[in-house]
Amino acid sequence: MKANFALWTACQRLYNVTPVVVEDLREMLGEVRFLANLRNDDGTEVEDLYDDSDILAIGNEDEEGFIRLVAVEDFFFNERCIVVARAAASYLEDNAKALEVIVFVSATDATRQQAVQLVREASLEGAFENRWARRLEASAREEETRKQLALRAEEEARARAVERIERPYSPAKSQQGRSLLDRWFGKN
């Protein structure tokens, strides 16, 4: 029962999933592997089951696009995890897809890279899209832009501060511009 619950949790967005085989490697590798059937397939691609912001990589294993691979960030026992799903047309039933699923129980940059690499290795040359790398590049560009804006604001603040500095008031001069000594000793 616990294994079934783990399967349903790992595959919570894959509706009508029937577990077939489970290989639980959490103890050794921190991952769970299983096969499943996705029933009532209406032509939806496996990546359409996930939000675009969660998808790390997409690939095709064949030229026709019948065997799709996707790496996504998902939840496993309410913990962030990485899921790699390979969906192929099922030879056993119509309107079903056979799924091979790997769940990396921890969501780290290393497991993200490992999932992306699995999709890359199984995909055809021109049929691979690394969305995680694009997100990293975009966030690096945003960070660089933020740093440049902060530097520019700091430079402008310094320039304004330099402009505001007035000549300090000298106690030896009166407001009329005459020195105190001149006033005391009769130079009017």
CATH fold label, 2-137 = Protein Transport Mog1p; Chain A (3.40.1000)
Does pLDDT of 149 surpass 70?
yes
* Angstrom distance (rounded) from CA 85 to CA 71: 6
The predicted-structure confidence for 62-81, as pLDDT tens digits, reads as follows: 777 667 788 888 776 566 77
Instruction: Find the mean pLDDT for residues 85-102.
Output: 70
Question: Is 101 in a helix, a strand, or coil?
Answer: strand
pTM of structure: 0.56
Which residue did the predictor score with more confidence, 135 or 78? 135
Nearest by Cα to 10 from 113, 109, 103: 103
* pLDDT-above-70 percentage for the chain: 52
Does pLDDT of 183 surpass 80?
no
Instruction: Find the mean pLDDT for residues 147-165.
Output: 83
**What pLDDT, on the 0 to 100 scale, is given for residue 151?**
92
Mean pLDDT (the chain) is: 70
Does pLDDT of 21 surpass 90?
no
Residue boundaries of the structural domains of the chain: 2-137
Which residue did the predictor score with more confidence, 89 or 135? 135
Does pLDDT of 171 surpass 70?
no
Instruction: Find the mean pLDDT for residues 109-137.
Output: 82
Q: How buried is 130 (Cβ within 10 angstroms: 0-12 exposed, 13-18 middle, 19+ buried)? A: middle
Tokens for 23? 């290989």
